């Protein structure tokens, strides 16, 4: 392994210079699936599934094998994708999801994917799961007041979707700042009870097995209405997060309803691709498909357990899954298609991360990120477009599990920090407000090139590597940024 000083030198010089993009601003579609594991589609090795639309994206674009979400649960990754900043730099340090009634977590005035695109003349729309909070003047959301600030306050022209998970209230869709189907004069009251929660004061509760159908129709309809100008579409389907409730038209997967839900997710992606084809927008549209964290690997979990028993490797060969500190919680499917710019039918081993989308879009627009924006976002456009593998576009990624445990990927090495790491008090109101597992009491070190499944802890025989990586991790936490020019 390189010495720490060499790594730090590389770290501060790794920010890439983007190649020239095509003259016309491309439309941009970012699809963020929910709990969709690395091995849950045929481009990533799944057997017995039918994912023709993800297959098409991979065939017409580039599939990444080392792309990371920075959190192993959703809100941390969604915040980082939207802002280019690690979630643990905010007021919440413990790696947990936001509560269903949390205030808007994106700070006023912070640059986001949407506000960046909007500044370049784009129309911006968000559809599906938000889970980044509403309102800022109260500790908990008041569903009887306009849900502002919300997505439209951070750069989106339009929002239609869910406040959080399907089981969270309100159990109706939200359009812009309003709950859809409110009964005039009646108070909205949310009774949360997992997937069976209820909301009164609305005409009709949304049907969980129709959520995907509804948000997909809204997203494609928005493309129809807004395609005259460049547009940015953020599509965040609830599949395949529980409750596992596919539309009744999707049946017959060998992996039961979980496989059916994957098929519905693929169908939804296909509807967006068909819309782009029909409107002759495909050639000038950048499409990114990825996920917010790994899939749940729990044999006791009804749907995922049955799928695993039937032979589905939800996170492929990777160890762990959602909530955990191991690779299966963070490494995500990541497919990029941009005809004429991204070489078709290619695979990249470049290490990239969800926060990088912000700086990469700025590079496409040929604009610098303002000081204090996208502190952990690297321009990885070269990784999208290079014809042959080049130097790393980023040398490291910091990850944080649901119990606050930090991990660091540096080259081929991966450290899980357990000794001397910051300790955070878990919030008892959150779903995973207690440790979900009991890991070793010592730091762990893995070489992912030799041991991608993280089966051999090398910390005892490579103490110098552990010490160097811990120093780099501590410095990154203290510094306030990891992108070299973010501190200028």
What residues are labeled active site?
74, 131
How many Å apart are CA 480 and CA 372, to the nearest integer? 9
328 is written with which tokens?
């299966």
CB-CB contact of 442 with 459 (8 Å):
yes
How many Å apart are CA 247 and CA 258, to the nearest integer? 11
* Beta-carbon contacts of residue 9 (< 8 Å; ≥ 6 apart): none
Q: Length of the chain, please?
A: 488
How many Å apart are CA 162 and CA 174, to the nearest integer? 6
How many Å apart are CA 436 and CA 413, to the nearest integer? 25
* Beta-carbon contacts of residue 476 (< 8 Å; ≥ 6 apart): 398, 482
How many Å apart are CA 187 and CA 145, to the nearest integer? 10
Q: What does the radius of gyration of the chain's CA atoms come to, in whole angstroms?
A: 21
CB-CB contact of 269 with 57 (8 Å):
yes
How many Å apart are CA 183 and CA 244, to the nearest integer? 29
How many Å apart are CA 446 and CA 426, to the nearest integer? 27
For 484, list phi and psi in degrees, rounded to 5.
Answer: -50, -45
CB-CB contact of 334 with 288 (8 Å):
yes
Q: What is the 3-state secondary structure (H, E, C) of 119-161?
A: HCCCEEEEEEECCCCCCCCCCCCCCCCCCCCCHHHHCCCEEEE
Instruction: Provide the terminal-to-terminal Cα distance of the chain, rounded to the nearest Å.
Output: 29
* Beta-carbon contacts of residue 398 (< 8 Å; ≥ 6 apart): 70, 86, 376, 406, 407, 408, 473, 476, 482
147 is written with which tokens?
């849900």
Counting DSSP H helices and E strands in the chain, the numbers are 10, 16
Q: Looking at the DSSP assignment, which residues form a beta bridge with residue 125?
A: 158, 233
C-alpha torsion sign, points 10, 11, 15, 16: positive
How many Å apart are CA 284 and CA 429, to the nearest integer? 45
270 is written with which tokens?
């296909």
């Amino acid at each position: 392994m390189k010495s720490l000083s060499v790594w730090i030198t590389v770290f501060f010089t790794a920010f890439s210079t983007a190649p020239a993009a095509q003259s016309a601003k491309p439309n941009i579609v970012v699809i963020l699936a929910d709990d969709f594991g690395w091995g849950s589609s045929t481009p990533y090795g799944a057997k017995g599934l039918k994912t023709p639309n993800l297959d098409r994206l991979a065939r017409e674009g580039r599939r990444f094998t080392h792309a990371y979400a920075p959190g192993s649960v959703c809100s941390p990754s969604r915040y980082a994708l939207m802002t280019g900043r690690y979630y643990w730099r905010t007021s919440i340090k413990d790696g947990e999801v936001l509560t269903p009634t949390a205030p808007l977590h994106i700070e006023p005035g912070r640059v986001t994917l949407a506000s960046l695109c909007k500044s370049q003349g784009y129309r911006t729309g968000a559809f599906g799961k938000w889970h980044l909070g509403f309102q800022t003047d109260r500790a908990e959301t008041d569903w009887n007041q306009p849900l502002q600030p919300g997505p439209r306050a951070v750069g989106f022209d339009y929002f239609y979707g869910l406040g959080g998970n399907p089981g969270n209230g309100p159990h109706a869709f939200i359009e812009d700042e309003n709950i859809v189907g409110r009964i005039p004069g009646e108070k909205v009251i949310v009774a949360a009870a997992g997937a069976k929660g209820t909301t009164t004061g609305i005409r009709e509760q949304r049907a969980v097995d129709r959520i995907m159908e509804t948000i997909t129709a809204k997203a494609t309809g928005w493309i129809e209405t807004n395609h005259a100008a460049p547009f940015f579409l953020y599509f965040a389907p609830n599949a395949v997060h529980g409750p596992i409730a596919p539309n009744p038209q999707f049946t017959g997967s060998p992996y039961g309803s979980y496989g059916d839900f994957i098929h519905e997710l693929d169908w939804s992606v296909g509807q967006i691709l068909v819309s782009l084809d029909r409107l002759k927008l495909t050639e000038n549209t950048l499409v990114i498909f990825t996920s917010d964290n790994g899939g749940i690997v729990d044999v006791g979990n009804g749907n995922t357990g049955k799928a695993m028993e039937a032979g589905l490797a939800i996170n492929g060969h990777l160890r762990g899954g959602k909530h955990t500190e191991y690779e299966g919680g963070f490494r995500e499917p990541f497919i990029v298609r941009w005809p004429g710019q991204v070489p078709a039918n290619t695979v990249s081993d470049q290490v990239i991360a969800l926060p990088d989308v912000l700086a990469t879009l700025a590079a496409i627009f040929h604009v610098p990120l303002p000081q204090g924006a996208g502190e952990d976002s690297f321009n990885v456009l070269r990784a999208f477009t290079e014809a042959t593998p080049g130097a790393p576009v980023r040398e490291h990624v910091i990850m944080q599990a649901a119990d606050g445990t930090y991990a660091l990927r540096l080259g081929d090495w991966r450290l899980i920090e357990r000794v001397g790491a910051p300790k955070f008090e878990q919030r008892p109101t959150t779903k995973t407000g207690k440790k979900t597992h009991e890991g070793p009491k010592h730091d762990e070190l893995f070489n992912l090139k030799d041991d991608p499944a993280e089966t051999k802890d090398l910390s005892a025989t490579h103490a110098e590597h552990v010490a160097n990586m811990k120093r780099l991790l501590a410095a990154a936490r203290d510094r306030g940024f990891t992108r070299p020019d973010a501190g200028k």
